[in-house]
Amino acid sequence: MSENAFPTTKTKASENFERSDWSSAYSNVDKEFSNFELKAAKGAIPKDLFGTLYRNGPGRLERNGQWVHHPFDGDGMITSLRFEEGKANLTNRFVRTKAWQEEEKAGKFIYRGVFGTQKAGGALSNAFDLRLKNIANTNVVLLGNELLALWEAASPYSLDPRSLDTHGISNLNGVLNPGEAFSAHPRFDPGHNNQSRMVTFGVNTGPKSTIRLMEFSTQGDDAGVLISNRKDTFNGFAFLHDFAITPNWAVFLQNAIDFNPLPFIFGQKGAAQCLSSSKNNKGRFLLIPRDSGCYALEPPRIFEAPDGFVFHHLNAWEENSEVVIESIFYNDFPSIQPNENFLEINFDEIPEGILKKCRINLLNKNVTTEVLSNQCCEFAMVNPRMLGMKARYSWMATAQKEHGNGPLQNIKKFDLFNSQKHIWSAAPRGFVSEPIMVPTSSSNEDDGWVLTVVWNGERLASDLVILNANDLSEQAILELPLAIPHGLHGSWVEG
């Protein structure tokens, strides 16, 4: 990488990190490993930790000297960390999408990015090129025998769960039409209605938006079989990244968003840059009945949502006549405009994510909102066995400081009942990714481990950190032979 790859920026007085440490994570992944044995640089790998951590995120951020305009436009790279009897092995592969292969051969970007990356030649070259580049970079989950690399605007890519070799686009045994959108944020029902399921959705957006809600078996020989399927159409443009589930409901928050496609059509902006918070509309909670629940076949129920923008939800559950949902709210839709450099983000000028709880009364349609924590957070989860139920504990990535925005440097265990917390910090030179809580067989909700990939600004490489889920005490640090850019989502597969 050239000396000028990262612009020189001074750290603001309010920041307790060096900008160069944070930005140094953004580089191309230049190696692929197969079953590389990892040793604990500190501590010991728990011998009861048995399974595979899969991670997805952008791994190709530059071609022929041109950088993506936003990391979310980077090509997907999967990392697999397999644990067994106190040992760990690493495998990583780029998802060999059609576009990745074409651009590797060409040695340059030949597709536009949704978040603003342009082909060479300016607006004239990009105008009227409305193709979507499936970058398969957002999440990775196992469904049946298929490991699925997900990007929510297109169909998933199927990979081999062990080698990570790319098989190609999957239509899930005929469930999906060619190019049909498939969410990058499925939810795994632990068995609320006597059967564990993967619940997910796809959205067809426009002046009216249609949500296709799908549920797949995750059990035995039927794993991967579609067992529930419904479509519902709503007024307005729907930007939906995540949702929540309860035994009876799939809960969506339709953000109040306007979409002006003209700058995208004329080659001036990426499609996501054409989104903006609506001044004339309110967000809405959309409660779609699940076919396995008590309200199957009934129409959806719609409720006005509080102001703000939501990417991610923590959890939801049912309590008497209420549906309760915990979500991370931003004051506004965060976006990187064409004249902005993502490496020069001023964290003080962009909205932070705040954890809030909304109670939706099904009888009188009242919605009340409560702030659970004012600390900037993202990537929150509960024990997966508590998904859709009232959970006491959550684990999330947070900023180092208590108030205001900042890069994610802490892992926090948060008691949703009394606000008590435990903190593990990677600061000042470390930056955390999404924590994955792996439960033990214990009946205690917070027994298990928390796994997170950490960018080590001192080592200029990534570490895998294993924490005790109960008190976030450090169990082991594994120094990876990879420099993995700040990533997105991942999953844990037992066995």
In a domain, 13, yes or no: no
Q: pLDDT value at position 280? A: 86
- Could you say which residues of the chain have pLDDT below 50? 1-14
In a domain, 33, yes or no: yes
Which amino acid type is present at position 216?
Answer: F
Question: Per-residue pLDDT tens for 284-305?
Answer: 999 999 999 999 999 999 999 9
Q: Which domain does 270 fall in, by range?
A: 19-494
Token readout for 180 is 């049909």
Q: Count CB atoms within 10 A of the CB of residue 421.
A: 16
Q: pLDDT value at position 107? A: 96
Number of separate domains in the chain = 1
Q: pLDDT value at position 447? A: 98
Classify burial at 473, counting beta carbons within 10 Å of its beta carbon; exposed 0-12, middle 13-18, buried 19 or more. exposed
Enumerate the known binding-site residues.
185, 241, 312, 489
In a domain, 279, yes or no: yes
Q: pLDDT value at position 345? A: 87
Provide the CA 141 distance to its chain's centre, in angstroms. Answer: 12
In a domain, 2, yes or no: no
Token readout for 48 is 């009861």
Torsion angle defined by CA atoms of residues 346, 115, 79 and 198, in that order, rounded to the nearest 10 degrees: 110
In a domain, 306, yes or no: yes
Token readout for 161 is 């769960």
Which among 304, 152, 151, 321 has a CA at the least distance from the CA of 249? 321
Q: pLDDT value at position 9? A: 31
The HSE-up count of residue 367 (CA atoms within 13 Å, CB side) is: 18
User: SS in 3 state form for the chain?
Assistant: CCCCCCCCCCCCCCCCCCHHHHHCCCCCCCCCCCCEEECEEEECCCCCCCEEEEECCEEECEECCEECCCHHHCEEEEEEEEEECCEEEEEEEECCCHHHHHHHHHCCCCCCCCCCCCCCCHHHHHCCCCCCCCCCCCEEEEECCEEEEECCCCCCEEECCCCCCEEEECCCCCCCCCCCCCCCCCEEECCCCCCCEEEEEEEECCCEEEEEEEEEECCHHHCCCEEEEEEEEEECCCCCCCCEECCCEEEEEECCEEECCHHHHCCCCCHHHHEEECCCCCCEEEEEECCCCCCCCCCCEEEECCCCEEEEEEEEEEECCEEEEEEEEECCCCCCCCCCCHHHCCHHHCCCCEEEEEEEECCCCCEEEEEEECCCEEEEECCHHHCCCCCCEEEEEEECCCCCCCCEEEEEEEECCCCCEEEEECCCCEEECCCEEEECCCCCCCCEEEEEEEEECCCCEEEEEEEECCCCCEEEEEECCCCCCCCCCEEEEEC
User: Which string of b and e fits 282-299 if b means at least 16 CB within 10 Å?
Assistant: ebbbbbbbbebbebeeee
In a domain, 8, yes or no: no
Enumerate the known binding-site residues for Fe cation.
185, 241, 312, 489
